[in-house]
Structure 1
Amino acid sequence: MRHPALTLAGLVAPALLLGACATTQPSLATDMLDGPASSYGLFLAGQGALNDGRSSQAASYFNMAAEAEGDTGLIAERAFTAAVLSGDITRAAQMAPSGPDASDNGKRLGRLVVAVEAMAQGKPKIAQPLLRSEDLGFVHRSAGVLLAPWAAAMAGDTDGSLVRPQVRGDRVVDYFGLLGQAYLYERARRYDEAETDFKELTKGDAPGDMVILAYGGFLERRGRRVDAQAIYNKGLAEEPQNSVLKAARDRAASGKAPPPAPNLKQGAAAALIAPAAGMMSAKQTQFALTYLRLALRLDPQRNEAWLMVGDMMEAAGDTEAARAAYGVPKPGSPEFGAAQAKLAWSYQNAGDGETALKLARAAAAAPGAGQEAQVTLADLLRANEKFAESAEVLTGVIAGDPDWRLLYARGVAYDRAGRWADGERDLQAALKQQPDDSELLNYLGYSWIDRGQHLAEALAMVQKAVGQNPRSGAMIDSLGWAYYRLGDYKKSVETLEEAVEQEAGDPDINNHLGDAYWQVGRRDEAMFQWRRVLTLAPDAKLKAEVETKIASGVGPAAPAKIAAQ
């Protein structure tokens, strides 16, 4: 079985990925509000909305509950949390828990929120004592120490701003604290020390595009454009499709104005992105969203933060909030392409392919649209079975960049459009560039197997793919189908039974197993598998094939054994 058609956007451009999305269901507590609302009902409705990721609705319910009940501590603290998660930091700072009935966790988060709000309002001296790590506790200690130098800089304390943040054993603080110190050294015109920090961050083979862009921008601002191009090329050696790095390199080469260093609020916002990403990796989604909202209070145009918020809202099932976040980056910004791609896919995943394609076409046609927009359009055209058009779009991209992933995608599109010779050529060209990619090996190998072509070579290819992915039902199916085509039905049955165990709901795998059962004389089991296929939403072609076998009572003819192979 060929692997489901790949989506290139995540391969060609940086992308932020989260876990599987949860669907939002009306909560029991919300249903209780059909009649006169009690404070308890409002509280339950708020808690249900908060659990579902609908933080704006949760904030409204908790506020109403607090007003009805006279602002009890528990309800007020929930309202504060909901206000933070919904992004209303100014209101949250006014509601920060501080009384004797407030929880320690609530008080600690309250200190951080009040500190950020003070920095956003240009009152850093209020923020400085609130950011002491011992007062913020273990959870928020990293955020506090990363923010402290920026608060010191805002307060005019140059020496305090240059103290490198440190938390023992915290690699996030070590890394991003050094990045912040580099920027603050540059701000203090201590350029040699700034470059020492930037060099430390970018040493090694794969330093990451964030620090590559930071160091390159510093070099451009110092008039060292050739050195900047060299550092951008270092990043592109690891991420050749990174459109942001390409744009930076082209800017440096053309002599255009360098990117400005971040101002103090922007730098403070960037410091909060780091612990947010760490919390996301640790599946602490509420803390991650908290830090993102705080970062956006300091820098409302922090586009990568909006993308992360959108991803989290999408994962929580709050599609409306996700789309609002994806809609923030403006045309011309480096993140616009990724934002439009995520916005379009949110409609595609909701079953609205027409809107998804409309958005993708508009983004691809926009002035200055890069490769990412074209690739997203091609992906969505393929997802909507417009294979010929998808291949045409990719042809324009490949003309300037014959990357194996693009060739793979066009090969799939050609194959699905009925142009196998063109698809085979692209897939073979992709395999020459990337001979060990398991999905590519499986797709081309299965394509040959299903056509009865190059069986010995195809068998070796799918064996290699299965070796890399021993739990992939699709790849195990390809191997079982290779044995079937070669006439080794006993081995085919054993392998296809394993494939069905891995992906019991796949109609193609169940059909293949039915055919293999038929060839070894297990006719009743074959009929069972074919009937099962009809319950698994097969496509029209497979449905007709299976219905014919069931109605006629005659299974498939045995493929000729290829003794030489």
Structure 2
Amino acid sequence: MTMLRPLSLALALCAGLVPSAPAVALDGIAGPYLAGRQASRFSDYGAASDYFRRALISDPANSGLLENALVAEIGRGAIDMALPLAGRLEQSGVKSQIADLVVLADLARTGDYETGLVALDEGRTAGALVDGLYRAWSLAGLGRMSDATTAFDEVADAAGTRSFGLYHKALALASVGDFEGADRIFSGEEGGPLRATRRGVVAHVQILSQLERNDAAIELIEKTFGETGDPAFLALKQELEAGAILGFSAVNGPIEGIGEVFFTVASALNGETSDINTLAYARMAEYLAPGQAETLLLCAAILESQGQFDLATKTFNRIPREDPAFVTAELGRADALLSDGRVDAAIEALRQLARDNSGRADIWSALGDTYRRNERYSEAAEAYDRAISTFSTEDPGQWVVYYTRGIANERIKNWGQAESDFRKALELRPDHPAVLNYLGYSYLEMNTNLDEALEMIERAVAERPDDGAIVDSFGWALYRLGRYDEAVVQMEQAVELMPEDAVVNDHLGDVYWAVDRKREAEFQWKRALSFEPDTEEEAKRIRRKLEIGLDAVLKEEGAEPLAVTKNEN
């Protein structure tokens, strides 16, 4: 299996769920309405809900207000508050797909499959793809499995939605004990191989175990996640190796099946369309399966991407400590806290997580990254030390920990260890441009190993020719080697790629000075100052170059003078 990805047609079948801005007559409600619209623009669902409800007091039958309020309630996860609004919209005679979505989800939650089918027949819709899968699962809920499988097949046979129909058909078959039929779909014997999702792999592993094929289940885990992959799958693998027969819990009946429909569609839409459309489907999945960790993780990730860090944090917090996804949730919560500017709270969350899971390299590495990004390099190096100490075997994926530890050590002037870390990272990933560039540039700054530095940076440029930082390093290497005319070409390209970077503009100024283009050099140094160099020391050096020129500054610093240029400009 490979990942389920949305096809353009599948997206079209779900598009238009949430209207961009329902029309509203503003007589007497302009203030709260406009405030609600502003809050909605920034995905501040709590504030939007308050403002729209305030406006509804003055105009309770206003369909535009009702729809805006409904969207706000869905966004903040208050489906119990959204349901009455959906009912009032229906009473107003306005057709609303977002209201239909809420009504259909609630019918599923109560197990009223018959009414759900009637609602579809009468024109309610949550998008053509969802409608087809919803119908199939509702038929299964009524015990009409033959009709249900036909309905799943109809979705699978429609253009662009084959994977969706087959995936849900397999889950439905497994939920009624037809594990052989489900395995034929997951393995590709029926309809071609499915694309793998994490939840799909869980389902297939459980199905194989139910068929007493634990060896095949173990092979599937190893093939998908490797020997040292996802901790949750490692735990499943241990159970399988011990001879346990795993129960099928991926989908426990039609209610969870319809919840899986909403989750499947939300996952497919994620990053492909409006965040509120994606969140609406994810919220319906959450409504039908409130404790489903992956759904909560998806909701939280969408909220974080919308800048709703408090809502995201609260959503991450809903995943209990005993859940296999708890560590992932805590890492996500720490990231949301960081994005919200709550650095100390994020660090404390990561430190506690590391204390409780001292053998997890990913946690120590995340803690190290947090320290490093906040320029606490000594603590970062210590955290990376702990991450590396957990490695029992060598793996190419470990390069990033050595690389980031190298950065931390370089920043605290522990160059011997930094160089060793960068070399180890390159041993694991020989052509990684970030490592080649960082080590090569470090050699340039120390004026050592210049030929090797140039060779490393040339390899990095070959990998990422449009990366301004790497092109800057290439130009700087040529400058250090006295190849000024060649350096000009590269530095000018770097400035085109990173026009507002202080370092790149400063470097171009130095290169221009070296080829006697002094007015242009001064212009670039002034631009560099306007972009606020990282440190006052860097800014002071640029100001000094503007005062007395680069040659004099190099002399003051006791550095080697510029080589004699052949450029006559």
Please report the TM-score for the alignment, with normalisation by the length of structure 1.
Answer: 0.84
Q: Which residue of the other structure, out of 410, 413, 432, is the alignment partner of 1:415? A: 410
Question: 128, 151, 156: which is aligned to 2:138?
Answer: 151
Matched, 1:461 2:456: yes
Match in the other structure for 1:26: none
Partner of 1:19: none
Range 393-402 or range 376-385, more displaced: 393-402
CA deviations over 1:309-355 (Å, ceiling 9, x no partner): 22222232222222222222222323222222222223323333222
Moved beyond 6 Å, runs of 4+: 168-172, 201-206, 559-562
Structure 2: distance between partners of 1:221 and 1:558: 74
- CA gap of 1:420–1:208, structure 2 versus 1, over 3 A, is farther
Q: In the TM superposition, what are the counterparts of 1:332-343 in structure 2 within 5 Å?
A: 332-343=322-333
2:524 aligned to which of 513, 526, 529: 529
- Aligned partner of 1:546 among 530, 542, 546: 542
What is the correspondence of 1:334-413 to structure 2 with a 5 Å cutoff? Answer: 334-367=324-357, 370-399=360-389, 400=391, 402=394, 403-413=398-408
Partners of 1:175 and 1:285 lie apart in 2 by 23
Deviation at 1:208, TM superposition (A): 4.5
Q: Which of 225, 233, 256 lines up with 1:245 in the alignment?
A: 233
Output the CA distance in 1 between the equivalents of 2:399 and 2:263: 33
In the TM superposition, what are the counterparts of 1:9-88 in structure 2 within 5 Å? 38-88=28-78
1:145-544 aligned within 5 A:
145-163=132-150, 164-167=152-155, 173-200=161-188, 207-237=196-226, 241-255=229-243, 258=246, 260-261=248-249, 262-264=251-253, 265-367=255-357, 370-399=360-389, 400=391, 402=394, 403-535=398-530, 536-544=532-540
Identity rate of aligned residues, in percent?
27
- CA offset at residue 421 of structure 1? 1.9
Query: Is the CA contact 2:134–2:261 (under 8 Å) kept in the aligned structure 1?
Result: yes
> Contact conserved, 1:408 with 1:440, CA < 8 A, in 2?
yes
1:322 is aligned with what amino acid? Answer: A
Tell me, what secondary structure is at the counterpart of 2:111?
coil
Match of 2:98 in 1: 109
474-483 vs 49-58, which moves further: 49-58
Maintained 8 Å contact 2:155/2:165: no
When residues 206 and 148 of structure 1 are mapped into structure 2, their CA distance, relative to the original with a 3 A threshold, is closer
Residues 440/340 of structure 1: CA separation in 2 closer, same or farther (3 Å cut): same
RMSD: 3.0
SS at match of 1:329: coil
Q: Is the 8 A contact 1:116 1:294 kept in 2?
A: yes
* Aligned mates of 2:563, 2:234 — CA distance in 1: 52
Matches of 2:184 and 2:156, distance apart in 1: 22
Whole-Å separation in 2 of the counterparts to 1:259 and 1:492 = 65
Question: Conserved in 1, the CA contact under 8 Å of 2:179 and 2:207?
Answer: no
The alpha-carbon distance between structure 1 residues 208 and 449, as it changes in their structure 2 partners (threshold 3 A), is farther
Distance 2:158 2:492 in 1: 47
Q: How far apart, in 1, do the equivalents of 2:358 and 2:136 lie?
A: 37
3-state DSSP class of the match of 1:200? coil
Asked whether the 8 Å contact 2:133–2:261 carries over to 1, the reply is yes
Distance, in Å, in 2 between the alignment partners of 1:453 and 1:206 is: 50
| Partner residue in 2 for 1:13 | none
- Tell me how far apart the structure 1 counterparts of residues 561 and 481 of structure 2 sit (CA, whole Å): 8
Q: How many Å apart are 1:476 and its aligned residue?
A: 0.8
- Deviations along 1:494-521, one digit per CA (max 9) or x if unpaired, are 2112212221222221221222122222
Q: Report if the CA contact (8 A) 2:409-2:417 is conserved.
A: yes
Aligned-residue offset at 1:404: 1.8
- 1:76 aligned partner, one-letter code: L
Given the alignment of the two structures, is residue 124 of structure 1 paired with residue 113 of structure 2, yes or no? Answer: yes
Is 1:98 the counterpart of 2:94? The answer is no
Gaps of 5+ in 2: 1-26, 565-569
Q: Aligned-pair distance for 1:201?
A: 9.2
Q: Which residue does the alignment assign to 1:4?
A: none
Q: Distance in 1 between matches of 2:160 and 2:277?
A: 15
Q: Is the alpha carbon distance of 1:171 and 1:376 closer, same or farther for their aligned partners in structure 2, counting shifts above 3 Å?
A: farther
- Would the aligned equivalents of 1:46 and 1:57 in 2 still touch at CA under 8 Å? yes
Report how far residue 110 of structure 1 moved: 2.4
Change in Cα spacing, 1:201 to 1:67, as seen in structure 2 (3 Å) is: farther
The structure-2 alpha-carbon separation of the partners of 1:257 and 1:475, relative to structure 1 and needing over 3 Å to count, comes to same
Tell me the TM-score normalised to structure 2 length: 0.83
**How many angstroms does 1:483 deviate by?**
0.6
Larger RCO (CA within 8 A; separation ≥ 6): 1
CA pair 56-351 structure 1, distance change in 2 beyond 3 A: closer
Measure how far apart 1:429 and its partner are. Answer: 2.0
After TM superposition, give the deviation of residue 551 of structure 1 in Å. Answer: 4.8
Aligned length: 521
**1:378: how far off?**
1.5
SS of alignment partner, residue 534 of structure 1: helix
5+ residue gaps, structure 1: 1-36
Preserved contact between residue 120 and residue 131 of structure 2 (Cα < 8 Å): yes
Shift of the 434–170 alpha-carbon distance from structure 1 to 2, 3 Å rule, reads: farther
1:544 deviation in Å?
4.2
Distance 1:320 1:334, change over 3 A: same
Query: Any idea what the Cα deviations from partners look like across 1:57-89, whole Å, max 9, x if unmatched?
Result: 222322232221132222223222322333222
Letter in 2 for 1:445: G
CA deviation after TM superposition for structure 1 residue 100, in Å: 6.4
How many Å separate the matches in 2 of 1:257 and 1:371? 30
CA, structure 1 residues 223+504, in 2 after alignment: closer, same or farther (shift >3 Å)? same
Q: SS of the residue aligned with 1:162? A: helix
1:225-252 deviations in whole A, cap 9, x for unaligned?
3222111000124x95433433332343
Distance change (3 Å), C-alpha of 1:234 and 1:50: same
